[in-house]
Chain A
Amino acid sequence: MSAHGNTYVPKSALAKWFESRLPLIGLVHSSFVSFPVPRNLNYFWTFGAILIAMLVSQIVTGIWLAMHYDPSAANAFNSVEHIMRDVNYGWLLRYMHANGASMFFVAVYVHIFRALYYGSYKAPREVLYILGVIIYLLMMATAFLGYTLPWGQMSFWGATVITSILGAIPVVGETIQSLLWGGYSVGSPTLNRFFSLHYLLPFMITGVVVLHVWALHVTGQNNPAGIPIKSGKDAVAFTPYATVKDVFASVVFFAFFAYWIFYQPNYLGHADNYVPANPAVTPAHIVPEWYFLPFYAILRAVPDKLGGVILMFSAVLILALAPWLDTSRVRSCNYRPIYRQFFWLFLVVCVLLGWLGAKPPEGGYVIAARICTAYYFLHFLLVMPLVGLFETPKALPGSILETVTGPGKQVSGSGMPIGAAAAPSSKG
């Protein structure tokens, strides 16, 4: 995975035999043991590891739930109750899975905003970043499909609303809708194929995660200073430094996760989803899960159906253009006094959109949602290009080491052995 030198030396005869046939241990060693990590990383950089832990947790609990779940419209709701009441620890598996989805999004939002604050999307990390946007899109699709499976009222109507969105696509919309439904409306065939796809997508996510990590190990990690590793003293070895920090952060995060599982297992869901699906009655307020609310607010802010759909999808896709919309060459907002304020404004607008997405679509809420939607897009289309052109950034530190020890000070030792072969430092 990594372009820098392979420092793994097999010791035993068996290891030598294996390594000369498949250099797997060397690959793992160079990627996750000897890989040079900037020494100034803060805890926001542990969310990548937390996300991998969440992905594994979701896949494992999901596979176990699938052993007891029945994806037919007649039995799906009952089989979920069966998991809750009859299956040994079924309640735990289901609460882990349902709250795990929310925790997955908590972690991914921290991860995304960290990338936006510290400019991790800028050259040479564009491909790394776009792979991340693709993972985010796959996560959204997976979460939506999963939410339909309990076949409660919110499941059914969520599926109806979202598949109706696809019906707004000109010319091919209705064909796509019919192929998704497998009938004339959302029904048992729909539930069956959603289950199949819900099982498939996490493995596609895993595949893209492998590419994402690969790209990360080609360019090396960004860091709070946003400057590249210049000498061995700027870096520490992935193991033990990053490994231990990642494990510690994951443990703390899982404690947070456990709070939801054991104390508030239904807080993040909707009571309406404990009512079996009924195509004749819509719940009073159809509201998606919290992690979709900002996009839902954008959808509803537009009085035109197709326009709303286009804007909602654009809101996600525009993220992928950030590397080219941002004209500043300084990565970290720590050194961008003006853009930093716009960053926080953007974060507030996103949270506000989320709040508005949960409110009924009337009166002042609609107006506020329109203003926030406008700012959301202006941030990318106007603020990112213009601030980069006019802003005078603060002086960047001479090296990563300086940001940790202060300028001019020395640390003992020679640091990481990264010489000419250390790809990360040469590409920054």
Chain B
Amino acid sequence: MANTAGHPESPHGAPDGTRRDFMFLATGAGLAVGAGALAWPFVASMAPDAETIAAGAPLEVDLTPIQEGQIVNVFWRGKLIFVRNRTEKEVKEASEVKMADLIDPQADSARVKQGHAKWLVVYGNCTHLGCVPIGHQGQYEGWSCPCHGSLYDTSGRVRRGPAPTNLPIPPYVFESDSKIRIGEEGGKAVA
């Protein structure tokens, strides 16, 4: 800055500082953009890669071998999914619960596909910290989490904490009465 020979008066009469300020800001902005552009590939490379995404295509599950009362584990995108063929008693229990008794109120009818009330399809990781709850256990006979004691009912709804929410429903459609496709919703695969 002390070097006066380096920045003579502008021929257009603009104060010298303005031009310097502009160059300073432009350089700073250029550096920020450059740093961001350089950082982006490093961050983006940590996101799911193409192979992982391809392996996450929709999954077809045949329901015919699943007996009444049985829970079957399937994996989609590395996540555990419970497919439960609920007994009439279990469906009845799930649909008769009062909303006021629920931690995360949701009707059983909103958690199954219309006309397929006996099939419950839910993600199999406790919404607290991701452990696998054990089926047919606990006071509500849905699932009981061995890690921190959360209880779920036969609709996969949380009935006792620390889990904050119900077991979420993955995207899926019924292809026929005995076949579902997990990872598809509204006629196309989910992102």
List chain A positions with a Cβ less than 8 A from chain B.
157, 160-161, 163-165, 178-187, 189, 193, 279-286, 300, 302-306, 308, 360-362
Contact = CB atoms under 8 A, between A and B. Distances in A.
Given A182-B49, A285-B146, A161 B131 contact: yes
Given A182-B52, A280-B80, A280-B132, A161 B147 contact: yes
A185 B47 contact: no
Contacts of A285: 146-147
Nearest to A278: B132
A164 B48 contact: no
B87 interface: no
Contact of B162 (A181, A193, A283, A304): A304
Given A179-B47, A184-B48, A189-B48, A282 B131 contact: yes
A304 B80 CA distance: 24
B32 to A, nearest CB: 21
Contact of B78 (A187, A286, A300, A362): A187
B75 interface: yes
Nearest to B55: A183
B146 A284 contact: yes
Given A187-B78, A279-B80, A305-B162, A182 B47 contact: yes
A219 to B, nearest CB: 36
Interface string B125-168: 10111111000000000000011110000000000011110000
Interface of B: 43, 46-49, 52, 56, 73, 75, 77-80, 124-125, 127-132, 146-149, 161-164
10 contacts: A161-B147, A164-B128, A179-B47, A183-B48, A184-B79, A185-B78, A186-B78, A304-B161, A308-B162, A361-B149
Nearest to B74: A280
Contact of A305 (B77, B132, B164): B164
Contacts of A164: 125, 128-130
Contacts of A280: 73, 75, 80, 124, 132
A360 B131 CA distance: 14
Contact of B75 (A163, A182, A279): A279
Contact of A300 (B77, B131, B132, B162): B162
A186 to B, nearest CB: 7
Given A279-B75, A300-B162, A179 B43 contact: yes
Contacts of B80: 279-280
Contacts of B164: 304-306
Given A160-B129, A181-B48, 14 more contacts: A157-B131, A160-B125, A161-B147, A180-B46, A183-B77, A184-B48, A184-B56, A184-B79, A189-B49, A279-B75, A280-B80, A300-B162, A305-B162, A305-B163
Given A157-B131, A179-B43, A305-B162, A282 B146 contact: yes
A302 B129 CA distance: 13
Contacts of B56: 184
Contacts of A286: 131, 146-147
A182 B46 contact: yes
Nearest to A281: B132
A193 B48 CA distance: 12
Contacts of B146: 282-286
A305 B148 CA distance: 11
Nearest to B134: A282
A401 to B, nearest CB: 55
A184 B129 contact: no
A165 B147 CA distance: 14
The 3 A-B residue pairs with the shortest CB-CB distance, nearest first, are A184-B77, A185-B78, A164-B130
A182 B48 contact: yes
Contact of B129 (A161, A181, A284, A303): A161
Contacts of B161: 303-304
Contacts of B48: 178, 181-184, 189
A193 B132 contact: no
Nearest to B43: A179
Nearest to A284: B146
A189 B52 contact: yes
Given A189-B49, A193-B46, A286-B131, A279 B78 contact: yes
A260 B164 CA distance: 41
A130 to B, nearest CB: 27
A161 B132 contact: no
B47 A160 contact: no
A297 B72 CA distance: 33
Contacts of A306: 164
A300 B161 CA distance: 11
B126 to A, nearest CB: 8
B119 to A, nearest CB: 20
Kindly name the residue among B77, B125, B148, B163 whose own CB sees the greatest number of chain A CB atoms within 10 A: B148
A193 B47 CA distance: 11
A178 B47 CA distance: 6
Nearest to A159: B130
A179 B52 CA distance: 13
A362 B149 contact: yes
B131 A179 contact: no
B144 to A, nearest CB: 11
A361 B130 CA distance: 16
B36 to A, nearest CB: 16
B141 to A, nearest CB: 18
B59 to A, nearest CB: 12
Nearest to A175: B47
A185 B163 CA distance: 19
Contacts of B127: 305
Nearest to B76: A184
